[in-house]
Structure 1
């Protein structure tokens, strides 16, 4: 299985960093071949040619269409992270979300 590359983005990349850490732990337990990084939303452009999935913090949900337009030419799937996943730092459900986008 090819590595699935996931990028989580929030304002400064800090809160998404905790979620990324939890997600990596779940992926390791499940023996999934994924990389999960967290970065500031301002850094998205630097990663578009290096990722498969872009997940935005819930506070960026209103900008989702804009990011879908930007990511389309890179074949990057994008979604806003639901508030309940983000607030509980639920790495398992975040992986489910990411993989559902790739189907």
Structure 2
């Protein structure tokens, strides 16, 4: 099963986005694991995920996450508009495109 990691600061708004993305995946019939962690815990799952998406509030830590992931999978910043509107469908679509 594919796994999407959302990287966040504290996790409150990001967990809401995770739920919206899970709802969108269920609607599409896509089996996927989606979860959120702070940057400090990324290394614990770096070898288990298929794509990493950073919340706009932690975009300044992209270089740090890139170093943790080591180029193994795509690391991208979530579009600020999609994040702000909690567009689970849009963020899921982007993640699925990055995994192809």
Moved more, 86-95 or 55-64: 55-64
1:40 counterpart = 2:38? yes
1:23 counterpart = 2:18? no
Alpha carbons of 1:92 and 1:56: their partners in 2 closer, same or farther (altered >3 Å)?
A: same
Describe how 1:1-103 pairs up with structure 2 within 5 A.
3-72=1-70, 75-103=72-100
Aligned residues: 100
Unaligned runs of 5+ in 1: none
CA drift of 1:40 comes to 1.9
Q: Is the 1:17–1:39 contact (alpha carbons within 8 Å) kept by the matching residues of 2?
A: no
Question: Any idea what SS the aligned residue of 1:12 has?
Answer: coil
Moved more, 84-93 or 39-48: 39-48
Unaligned runs of 5+ in 2: none
Q: Is the 1:68–1:78 contact (alpha carbons within 8 Å) kept by the matching residues of 2?
A: yes
CA drift of 1:69 comes to 2.9
Q: Partners in 2 of 1:5 and 1:14 — Cα distance?
A: 20
Q: Partners in 2 of 1:18 and 1:80 — Cα distance?
A: 17
**TM-score, length basis structure 2:** 0.90
